[in-house]
Amino acid sequence: MQNTLKSAVTFTGVGLHTGKPVRMTLRPASADYGIWFRRTDVTDRDPMIPAIWHAVTPSRLCTVVENAAGVSVSTIEHVMAALAGSAIHNALIEIDGPEVPILDGSAEPFVAAFLARGLQAQAADVRAIRVLKPVEVRDGLAVARLEPSDMLEIDFRIDFAEAAIGRQERRLNMSNGAFVRELSDCRTFCRQADVDAMREKGLALGGTLENAVVFDGDRVVSPGGLRRADEPVRHKMLDALGDLALAGGPLLGRYTGIRAGHALTNKLLRALFSDPSAFRIEGCGSRVGEKLPGVGVHREDLPSLRRQAA
């Protein structure tokens, strides 16, 4: 069955790149509505923006969706991952600025609020997108690939020169709340040199050591260090789930990302949907539905609560 929130939930914070204050409210929506953004600060044009793969516009640093009127919302990947990882299929996201608040740089604050609010089951079947054959895109050394699987799996590999990051890889079956337990608390990360370069260009104005993990050579600059030894690759998996959520329904397939980013994952979705023989849309029976991300998640699965209890 499809799910929506039982009631509205509001977040306030700043945009990672703009540094501007923003207020965002997620509201329940009817079955088959999907995920939409509404820019409440826009009154002279269409303020509605669909969270769908073909609305994504080119951006190297984050995921941006834009409508035909040129109205956009950026840095949507963390809230999209939280929605997918909490099994929320329908919601209207009202936002009074051009960028989703970064909060602590992870998806856990979103997930915690969703679980506290509770979900409302809806009388409509979830329609999943089953990958029928391998689809792959490349950009230099970066690779993104989808292959057939009975459930969503994410396999990610990164390789950075910084000794504090280095080469990391992880593979996860995303069913049974794995996203919430294993990935939701992992924060966005960057290198100190990248921070300096972005700020010279007027970017990352809302970035702090409290909402991103900053690395400098063999040092973790952010206070408190890492939440997990391989937090960077886990965050890349979080991003991938958020970008894959723009497929318009849960994917049944194995995603492999090698040095992949937001743009390449979107290019992969475009390649998938450009080939009708590569996918099939199907209703989820109980056997398949039980394997979808977010099914059976409980508040006790939140990593912050599990750390406190340890």
Query: Cβ of 67: how many Cβ atoms within 10 Å?
Result: 19
How far is 218 from 129, CA to CA, in rounded Å? 42
Element (H, E) at 38: strand 35-39
DSSP string, 177-229: THIIIIITTPPPEEEHHHHHHHHHTT--TT--TTSSEEEETTEE-STT--SST
DSSP string spanning 236-260?
HHHHHHHHHGGGSS-EEEEEEEES-
Cα–Cα distance between 208 and 235 in angstroms, integer? 17
Q: Looking at the annotation, which residues are catalytic? A: 262
Q: Which residues contact 96 (CB under 8 A, 6 or more apart)?
A: 22, 23, 24, 39, 40, 41
Amino acid found at 210: E
* Cα gap 248→151, rounded to integer Å: 16
Q: Which residues pair with 57 in a beta bridge?
A: 64
Which residues touch 129 (CB under 8 Å, ≥6 apart)?
A: 247, 248, 249, 250, 251, 252, 253, 279, 280, 281
